[in-house]
Chains A and B, each alone.
Chain A
């Protein structure tokens, strides 16, 4: 919610992007058993491109995921089959998938599909 940190006056650094990342359907167990995380990510990826969802996924793997079983979240460099990604409660396929540019205060939800019944 509050003010962002890390802004810099001269444009060499960019204001980080603040967003909510949420996990459901059991994925939260890979992220310290916490369903919702308010995080800040750099506004640009290492190649100076604006942070998109592909970069966010990579960032989460490197920085937020304590569990070592990366394959339960990412497989062959993509979100593993069976996980849905929602951008502000809308299927990411309607928003450009990995290419979607992260905005301040976005909510990105990762849902693992359940099969029990």
Chain B
């Protein structure tokens, strides 16, 4: 009886937070207004703010710091900060900024909470798996500190909404995971005259840099990275892996930088931009790098030689900026013909029929160690990749299969069905198996697990 009441209570709480989120989202959308440009964040919103007795106590431990003081606390309360992405970076950043008493905290993210997020996205919870991340985050934040005004946006940041949304804020935290959206945040932040606190992380490493700070003086993302990286070099946390506290540390550092920008007036170290590198396994884990200044010919914050290249409000709103295309489009490998690929169900039938075959798993050894299909041979994709363009490529690939019978079909599997296609092509071009019966298993072990063709199989 008690358990069912508790469950009902939980469900109702969840529903209330969802409705509140919807309501706030609606209010926010109807009340937007454009501002041509804005002064630095610590100068705006001269409106009177007051601290309640409860807030004096709550913020006392940071207010007694000379770097904050009552003035700094008022600046925090007056400030409006937008967090783009409430994942591994955004979760700890949002928690510390909410805790510090930011006046308005906007959070934008289109995703829902998955249980594979929870090792690092620590303000979400197991009970909120499936809920929009924005709703989950605000549920936690409101419990942590009820004073800030939380503004949810359950949508992606796009060229259509970015100008409208970012016009409402004094500072933006880039907590995203793809260069395309990082360029978009940058371009709009430059137009809106607001600083960007940008961080990123992968595996055991993190990077942090404050851009467009103070607005119009410090370099922007495009000053430092004028050209996007080639698609093949961009690795996400899903593929490369990420240690929770590494990305968490970078998010916490974003909160530190945000508080510094908001509370310090005048801004110190004008014109000097530093990038902080963190390498958990490096000889010196923290490194501070002195970065270049603004580029006079930057297409976002400068005056490009060809004036038509200058990025403006009009070029973004008019749909002339295709950020995804600029960054090389979506990654999705399609190198094989349909008859060179089999579905997981088809492969299951091969397996059950007892036909002699070779199952080649090209995932990295760590992943293969987590789970594998019976009887598979593991040769990581990177070993094939390393042989590419070598004169001896075909010979070396052949020697990998020295001990394997050559008269039976070969099925290649990887995690998602991209690497395996490339290996199929390499095996065929090298002519390792004379009759070339080499097939890719579509969707890899992930599809094998999701489809449930072979009962329970871990998805990671």
Question: Which A residues lie at the B interface, using CB under 8 A?
Answer: 24-26, 35-36, 67-69, 71-72, 75, 80-82, 84, 86, 89-91, 93-94, 109, 111-117
Contact = CB atoms under 8 A, between A and B. Distances in A.
Interface of B: 85, 87-90, 174-179, 182, 199-203, 205-207, 224-230, 232-237, 240, 242, 247, 250, 275, 277, 279, 282-283, 287-292, 385-390
Contact of B230 (A26, A75, A117): A75
A36 B16 CA distance: 54
A80 B229 contact: yes
Nearest to B88: A117
Contact of B177 (A25, A84, A116): A116
A35 B277 CA distance: 13
Nearest to A81: B227
A117 B177 contact: yes
Contacts of B385: 69
Nearest to B388: A68
A89 B289 CA distance: 5
Contacts of A26: 202-203, 205, 235, 240
A82 B250 CA distance: 19
A115 B200 contact: yes
Given A80-B233, A89-B287, A115 B386 contact: no
Given A68-B390, A89-B289, A117 B225 contact: no
A86 B292 CA distance: 10
A112 B233 contact: yes
A2 B236 CA distance: 41
Contacts of B90: 117
A93 B230 CA distance: 21
Contacts of A69: 385-386, 388-389
16 contacts: A24-B282, A35-B282, A67-B386, A69-B386, A71-B230, A82-B227, A82-B230, A89-B289, A89-B290, A90-B290, A91-B291, A113-B225, A115-B229, A115-B236, A116-B235, A117-B200
A110 to B, nearest CB: 12
Contacts of B288: 89
Which 4 pairs from chain A and chain B are nearest by CB? A82-B229, A81-B227, A114-B200, A116-B202
Contacts of A71: 230
A93 B296 CA distance: 13
Given A80-B229, A91-B291, 16 more contacts: A24-B277, A24-B282, A25-B277, A26-B205, A68-B389, A71-B230, A81-B225, A81-B226, A81-B228, A82-B228, A89-B290, A114-B205, A115-B177, A116-B202, A116-B235, A117-B250
Contacts of B226: 81
A48 B232 CA distance: 36
A107 to B, nearest CB: 10
Nearest to B275: A84
Contacts of A72: 232-233
Given A81-B230, A89-B288, A117 B389 contact: no
Contact of B205 (A25, A68, A90, A93): A25
A37 B90 CA distance: 35
Contact of A24 (B227, B279, B292): B279
B237 to A, nearest CB: 4
B289 A113 contact: no
B176 A117 contact: yes
B201 A114 contact: yes
Given A24-B277, A69-B386, A82-B228, A117 B87 contact: yes
Contacts of B292: 91, 93-94
B389 A115 contact: no
Contacts of B235: 26, 115-116
Contacts of B287: 89, 109
A115 B182 contact: yes
A70 to B, nearest CB: 8
Contacts of A112: 233
Contacts of B228: 81-82
Nearest to B287: A89
B234 A115 contact: yes
A17 B384 CA distance: 35
A90 B287 CA distance: 11
A85 to B, nearest CB: 10
Nearest to A82: B229
Contacts of A82: 225, 227-230, 233-234
Contacts of A90: 289-290
B90 to A, nearest CB: 7
A81 B229 contact: yes
Contacts of A68: 386-390
Interface centre among A68, A94, A115 (most CB of B within 10 A): A115
B207 A113 contact: yes
A81 B206 CA distance: 18
A116 B242 CA distance: 8
Contacts of B205: 24-26, 114
Contacts of B87: 117
Contacts of A86: 289
